[in-house]
Amino acid sequence: MHVITLRAQGIAKHFGVVRALDGVDFDVHGGEVHALLGENGAGKSTLLSVLAGVHAPTAGSIEFDGEPYAPRNPLDAVRAGIVTIHQELCSSPDLTVEQNIVLGREPRVRRRGLRALVDRARVRELAEQALERIGASVAPTARVADLGPSERQLVEIARALAFDVRVLVLDEPTSSLTAVEVERLFAVLESLRADGRAIVYVSHFLEEVMLIADRFTVLRDGRTVGSGKVAGAEIGGIVELMAGRRLDEVYPPKRERARSDGSSIVFDVREVVGKSLPREARFSLGRGEILGVFGLVGAGRTELLRALIGLDPARRRIISVSSDRDVLLGGGPREALAHGIGFASEDRKDEGLALDLTIAQNITLSGLERHARFGFVRSSSVREASERCADAFDVRRASTEQAVGRLSGGNQQKVALARLLHEEANVWLLDEPTRGIDVASKSEIYRRIHSLANDGASFVVVSSYVPELLGICDRIAVMHRGVLAQSRAACDWTEHELIEVAARGVDRRAVQDRASEVDQ
């Protein structure tokens, strides 16, 4: 069988004085999954753009299937059979699944004079073939906007198949998937691999890479710093290659703290019921406590936080904030902020940050009034406060007057969190606080969360990444189909158990037993 090969040698890409890539060697063969690893800013995205025909390399050569490969635009790349599926899926949400699958190469009616029309029967056929090929049970007529992220991704893969993909490039494909969905994706990838197609797999989740990839290449500072077979490699070694630091240094040392007693409860959620989600949730948060919330995508974790902060309308919401007095919250984000409850969105680009505003503006936006006299803002006061908060989260920057959009993902996330610091929040509601950011930034954020908690701030951390929850939380609760179960100390959970409970839900009787034990 003919095995195709994509081989890039000595690739460099300079943007002005910035050397995004400076000597990258990378190759992938048909029938293998090749993981491309590296922290944010290491040059993975630039390399992908070069392969996808978005950027032409400044130096170096690429060979594809024995011939020089120099795509002038993305369409060239797709025509050659190199298809990239981006982290932010770029399908057209208003079109149907089948329309998306054939988008850009719609089959035409063959009859003369009617060639401007789309052959709908053939579209259906192509779409069904492609969907069936990857075992996706998605209706071809469903609107993509109505699908979840995992189904959208399958549609993208089906689309790549319809384009007769030879090299499939996946950029952070699992960042918004649940464990079960990841398994399904891996099954699809394995069948594509068996089919002789080449897969380039970019991910921050090394555990997944160890499961799915055959070989890996690590980039750092725009260069290839290592590559090899996954079999026999160790995560610790790969992380060291990526970051120059050891894996056990990623999570801060465990905190010594007892289960908070009733007197120090600072945030008591007696009931939250959203419009559809969450269905049932009650929990309380002690001073300096970090509560992790795990669950499948769609379980209602994000909706829980949004209902708590008042961003989404809630059907019933009884929360008391009892730092010194009992206050029941009923209003929107403004009221929550006024009571020291801060929220960081899971979607920092679309919601969390205003990307074209400056670092200083983003940090102070929720509390500008504090820097104002007679409605006018004192810029020295804003500068001073934003410098202080940016320093606390170690935001790497030229100045706080820089636009946030120019920062790396990790630094953007630090700005989003620095805003809560500026709000002087006592209760931090964090939705996927480390999604899609590099290991070094993650580690810094974990340490910062711990030091804030030691100073008395309380946290609710929603995450889909189990090691993270086990690594930083005091207690973890699982959400299943809109119901938040009783929390348990983090040390009482195993990774396997969390995933199982998230998928199946807790036996309710067992929960009640455990709750009564706590009461006694």
Partner 1 sequence: MTSGSILRALRPCIGLAIVLTVFALHPQAEGFLSVFNFKIVANQTVIVGLAAIGATFVIVSGGIDLSVGSIIALSSVVCALVLRAEYGVTLAMVSAIIAGCVCGLVNGLMITMLRIAPFVATLGMLGIARGAAKWISGEQKVDVPPAALESGGLQAWMSNRPDPEWLWFSPGVWTTILLALIAAYVLRRSVFGIHVTAIGSNEKTARLCGIRIERTKIAIYSIAGACAGLAGFMLCARLTVGNPTAALGKELDVIAAVVIGGASLAGGQGGVLGSMLGALMMAFLASGCKMTGSATYVQEILIGTIIVVAVSVDVLQRRRA
Q: Using CB under 8 A as the criterion, which residues of the chain lie in contact with partner 1 when the complex forms? A: 309, 311, 332-334, 336-338, 343, 345, 350-357, 361-362, 365-366, 368-369, 372, 375-377, 379, 401-403, 419
| Tokens matching residue 372 | 């104002």
> Given the complex with partner 1, which of 244 and 331 has the nearer CB atom?
331
Distance, in Å, from the CA atom of 223 to the CA atom of 22, rounded to the nearest integer, reads: 6
Q: How many Cβ atoms from other residues are within 10 Å of residue 237's Cβ?
A: 14
Pick between residue 180 and residue 311 the one whose CB is nearest to partner 1: 311
Least distance (Å) between residue 67 CB and partner 1? 30
**Measured from the CB of residue 459, what is the shortest distance to partner 1 in angstroms?**
18
Q: How far is the CB of 80 from partner 1 (least distance, A)?
A: 24
Q: Which of 312/497 has CB closer to partner 1?
A: 312
Q: What is the DSSP letter of 407?
A: S
Q: Which is nearer to partner 1, 100 or 345 (CB)?
A: 345
Of the candidates 380, 268, 258, 373, the one whose C-alpha atom is nearest the C-alpha of residue 326 is 268
Q: Which is nearer to partner 1, 96 or 366 (CB)?
A: 366
User: Whole-number minimum distance, CB 352 to partner 1, in Å?
Assistant: 7
Q: Which is nearer to partner 1, 100 or 366 (CB)?
A: 366
3-state secondary structure of 500: helix
Annotate 98-139 with three-state secondary structure: HHHHHCCCCCECCCCCCCCCECHHHHHHHHHHHHHHCCCCCC
Q: Which CB atom, from 207 or from 351, has the smaller least distance to partner 1?
A: 351
How are beta strands 290-295 and 458-462 bridged, if at all?
Answer: parallel
Min separation Cβ 406 and partner 1, Å: 9
Taking the complex as a whole, the smallest distance from the CB of residue 162 to partner 1 amounts, in Å, to 30
Q: What is the DSSP string of 458-481?
A: EEEEE-S-HHHHHHH-SEEEEEET
Query: Environment class of residue 185 by beta-carbon count within 10 Å: exposed (0-12), middle (13-18) or buried (19+)?
Result: buried
CB 306 within 8 A of CB 344: no
Output the DSSP codes for 3-72: --EEEEEEEEEEETTEEEEEEEEEEEETT-EEEEE--TTSSHHHHHHHHTTSS--SEEEEEETTEE---S
Toward partner 1, which CB reaches closer, 336 or 470? 336
In whole angstroms, how close is the CB of 220 to partner 1 at the nearest point?
Answer: 25
Q: How far is the CB of 342 from partner 1 (least distance, A)?
A: 10
